[in-house]
């Protein structure tokens, strides 16, 4: 079980963990934005390794830069890495730590809602490779995760929407009540005090699932809800040179998979309208796709890690809110039909 | 516990494992030499990914090539990698498999004595980085290891000597009798039928130690005997552009650490002479070092993964054959004195 600390005194929590872990050295792994805007305010006196910001830099070059930084700063097997940043930093920093000298300890301190609710918890680490999302990585749990909302107020609205999509996903997996509570929250006017209890609930949904199935042999695949289609939207956008936030892609992916759930597993149609209306009201926009992109989208879905073979595309579907069904598949024509409906619903 | 199969019918053993594992696809990972000289004789009809041969290619470029190959050949999470080759192939192929889509299954089929007795068993995978040996990697056990002696008769003498050094190490860790039996074996006239029982005994020494301590928290460090000094010889030789076989470096490293054991832990002096005489008689030669290399050698030892801090250099020493002592340290001047004696004994 991962140690998850909820606090708004991040520096203090980090200092306490450093005392507890007695590392031979401490290395903050972060990105240029966080280094410039967040680190100075934390007043921590440790080594810093910084990579360029953004998902397009979650690659082997940045990974090599982190490994080199650890070597140059004299890290040993008893050292401690502290990943401070969004999902790119926690995923890549976690992978760098898990593979440096065959694994050193690391702490995640997410600075975005998305990484707090998703990336920083549950042990998935990795990088993109050859244009495929998280193609390379390992399962390695952070020795501790420190969740704090202090950074959220300075995040652009887009980042908040992005993270909230994963909270909607957790709500959908958990129960109709939790999901409905989330849909009644107006994040365009977010007050981070009132978001905190929702966030804790949301992280606990993920914790519960990951503890039962850490290596994704079964139940954990439920967390992939929205991600088969979502990763395809994300990959396509990247290919077009117009990247979209991960959470937006997931928000869209959830809708596509809700439509498939309706067609194939009797998911109630009114939920499609309720969800699409929420996305529109909150300003998630819609992805720039046309029929000519369908082949590319299907290609990305087919290469998704979640598929056991290349002949079937694996989805998590729902028979109702709170009732996920893992290891579902859909044919190309069913997916294409869902993409058509998706475009109608959002445009 | 790893499944270790001893057989001289490699193709048959591989085919049986493929039937047992039911992978979605099979990918042989190998090097150019093995691809040209060994694969055709095996008659296996699987995907092949081949990298350039040699330790200097155990790097991030070759690793990327393997990852790309797996992607291009359509590998999924249910695929199986089969590493056929020496330690470079089993270490790097194992790391590639352990990190591809956060880990796919893999089998090691070592083709050299060195990889049979050492690299293929025990779950250490990785690559060299920034000139440092195995700086990046993970612990990941092969799902099966197939040990066979069929390839050894075509190996150059140098490869046999290199592998035998690790057998000497296992003998030294195990008992005075096992060690003495190894010293009475003339590998320059090696008959691979009679080597086989010694090899099985040797692999079992490693298995026993690894099963007790898979993540090298304690006892397993005994297997580092000869490797702190050995890696330094290897690193220095690589830096000079005159690489030496890993096993030669270990053979030399064992002697340096025997000398330290004598100076610091009363290891009997006659064992130093007996061991040095064996190395000379079998043709291990001696490393090209002078006093002016000592600083570089100490630098390599200081950066070894086995050190918890940079201020101390960690060794496995011996109070006698069969009696290892882990987590020992020595000062720079003690190491320098040992290097002087080492040169006297071997030259």
**Residue range A239-276, pLDDT digits in tens:** 999 999 989 999 999 999 999 999 999 999 999 999 99
Structure tokens at B61: 């470029």
Q: Is the pLDDT of residue A15 over 80?
A: yes
When pLDDT is averaged across residues B235-247 and rounded to a whole number, the result is 92
First-to-last alpha carbon distance for chain B, in angstroms, is 43
- Cβ atoms of B93 and B126 closer than 8 Å: no
- Partners of A271 in beta bridges: none
CB < 8 Å & 24+ apart, contacts of B330-339 = B330/B260, B330/B264, B332/B298, B334/B260, B334/B263, B334/B264, B335/B229, B335/B256, B335/B260, B335/B298, B335/B301, B336/B294, B336/B298, B337/B263, B338/B256, B338/B259, B338/B260, B338/B263, B339/B256, B339/B289, B339/B294, B339/B297
Kindly give the residue spans of alpha helices, DSSP state H, lying in chain A. 10-21, 32-37, 39-42, 60-72, 87-99, 113-114, 157-174, 176-183, 192-212, 227-239, 246-265, 269-282, 294-302, 332-346
| Residue A28 CB partners (closer than 8 Å, separation 6+) | A39, A44, A46, A47, A48, A49, A81, A82, A84
3-state secondary structure of B43: coil
DSSP B257-271: HHHHHHHHH---HHH
A210: closest CA of chain B, how far (Å): 15
Instruction: State how far the Cα of B140 lies from the Cα of A121, in Å rounded to an integer.
Output: 22
Contact B76 A126 (CB under 8 A): no
Q: Which residue has the tokens 């109630």?
A: A268
Q: Is the pLDDT of residue B225 over 90?
A: yes
pLDDT at A226: 97
pLDDT at B196: 80
B13: closest CA of chain A, how far (Å): 25
- Quickly state the pLDDT bin for B195 (edges 50, 70, 90): confident
**Chain A environment of B99 (Cβ under 8 Å):** 99, 126, 136-138
Q: Which residue has the tokens 């005075």?
A: B176
DSSP B135-178: EE--B---SEEEE--TTGGGS-HHHHHHHHHHHHHHHHHH-HHH
Q: Is the pLDDT of residue B17 over 80?
A: yes
Reported ipTM = 0.84
Q: Is the pLDDT of residue B127 over 70?
A: yes
When pLDDT is averaged across residues B252-256 and rounded to a whole number, the result is 98
When pLDDT is averaged across residues B148-174 and rounded to a whole number, the result is 93
Q: Which residue of A has its CA nearest to B216?
A: A102
- Quickly state the pLDDT bin for A194 (edges 50, 70, 90): confident
> What mean pLDDT value characterizes chain A?
94
B136 touching A (Cβ < 8 Å): yes
Percent of residues, chain B, with pLDDT higher than 70: 98
Percent of residues, chain A, with pLDDT higher than 90: 82
Percent of residues, chain A, with pLDDT higher than 70: 98
User: Which helix H or strand E contains A118, and what residues bound it?
Assistant: none
First-to-last alpha carbon distance for chain A, in angstroms, is 43
Task: Answer with the residue of higher pLDDT: B65 or B215.
Answer: B65
Angle value at C-alpha A216, between B63 and B91, nearest 5 degrees: 25
pLDDT at B289: 94
B225: closest CA of chain A, how far (Å): 18
Who among B77, B99, B134 is closest to A138 (CB)? B99
A221: closest CA of chain B, how far (Å): 13
Task: Answer with the residue of higher pLDDT: B288 or B15.
Answer: B15
Contact A138 B76 (CB under 8 A): no
pLDDT at B10: 93
- Cβ atoms of A94 and A107 closer than 8 Å: no
- Sign of the C-alpha dihedral computed for residues B324, B330, B332 and B338 taken in this order: negative
B215: closest CA of chain A, how far (Å): 9
Q: Is the pLDDT of residue B132 over 80?
A: yes
Structure tokens at A48: 């810093």
Q: Is the pLDDT of residue A35 over 90?
A: yes
- Cβ atoms of B253 and B228 closer than 8 Å: yes
**Chain B environment of A103 (Cβ under 8 Å):** 138-139
pLDDT at B304: 75
**Chain A environment of B310 (Cβ under 8 Å):** 24, 74, 76
For A301-324, write each residue's pLDDT tens digit. Answer: 998 767 766 678 999 999 999 999
- Quickly state the pLDDT bin for A119 (edges 50, 70, 90): confident
Contact B71 A135 (CB under 8 A): yes
Contact B67 A308 (CB under 8 A): no
B218 touching A (Cβ < 8 Å): no
pLDDT at A273: 97
Instruction: State how far the Cα of B166 lies from the Cα of B246, in Å rounded to an integer.
Output: 10
- Partners of B105 in beta bridges: B80
Mutation site for B-interface testing, chosen from A64, A99, A299 by largest number of B Cβ within 10 Å:
A99
Structure tokens at A280: 């529109």
pLDDT at A2: 76
Does the pTM exceed 0.95?
no
- Helix then strand then coil, in percent of chain B rounded to 5, is 55, 15, 30
A328: closest CA of chain B, how far (Å): 16
Structure tokens at A67: 């490994």
Where residue A21 falls (left for φ over 0; alpha for ψ -120 to 50; beta otherwise) is alpha
Contact B309 A126 (CB under 8 A): no
Q: Is the pLDDT of residue A168 over 90?
A: yes
B8 touching A (Cβ < 8 Å): no
């Amino acid at each position: 079980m991962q140690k998850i600390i909820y606090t708004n005194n991040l520096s203090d929590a980090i200092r306490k963990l450093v005392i507890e872990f007695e590392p031979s050295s401490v290395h903050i792994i972060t990105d240029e934005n966080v280094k410039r805007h967040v680190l100075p305010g934390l007043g921590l006196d440790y080594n810093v390794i910084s990579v360029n910001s953004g998902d397009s830099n979650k690659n082997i070059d940045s990974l090599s830069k982190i490994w080199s930084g650890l070597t140059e700063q004299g890290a040993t097997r008893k050292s401690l890495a502290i990943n401070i940043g969004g999902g790119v930093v926690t995923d890549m920093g976690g992978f760098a730590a898990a593979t440096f000298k065959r694994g050193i300890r690391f702490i995640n301190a997410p600075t975005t809602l998305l990484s707090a609710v998703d990336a920083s918890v549950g042990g998935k680490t990795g990088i993109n490779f050859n244009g495929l999302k998280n193609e390379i990585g390992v399962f390695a749990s952070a020795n501790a995760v420190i969740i704090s909302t202090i950074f959220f107020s300075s995040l652009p609205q887009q980042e908040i929407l992005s993270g909230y999509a994963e909270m909607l996903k957790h709500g959908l997996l958990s129960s109709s009540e939790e999901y409905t509570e989330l849909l009644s929250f107006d994040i365009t006017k977010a007050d981070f005090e009132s978001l905190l209890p929702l966030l804790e609930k949301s992280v606990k949904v993920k914790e519960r699932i990951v503890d039962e199935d850490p290596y994704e042999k079964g139940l954990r695949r439920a967390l992939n809800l929205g991600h088969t289609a979502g990763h395809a939207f994300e990959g396509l956008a990247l290919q077009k040179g117009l990247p979209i936030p991960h959470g937006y892609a997931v928000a869209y992916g959830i809708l596509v998979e809700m439509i498939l759930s309706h067609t194939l597993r009797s998911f109630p149609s009114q939920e499609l309208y309720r969800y699409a209306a929420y996305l529109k009201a909150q300003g998630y926009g819609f992805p720039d796709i046309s029929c000519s992109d369908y082949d590319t989208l299907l290609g990305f879905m087919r290469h998704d890690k979640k598929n056991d073979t290349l002949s079937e595309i694996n989805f998590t579907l729902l028979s109702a809110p709170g009732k996920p069904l893992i290891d579902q598949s859909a044919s190309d024509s069913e997916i294409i039909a869902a993409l058509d409906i998706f475009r109608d619903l959002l445009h």
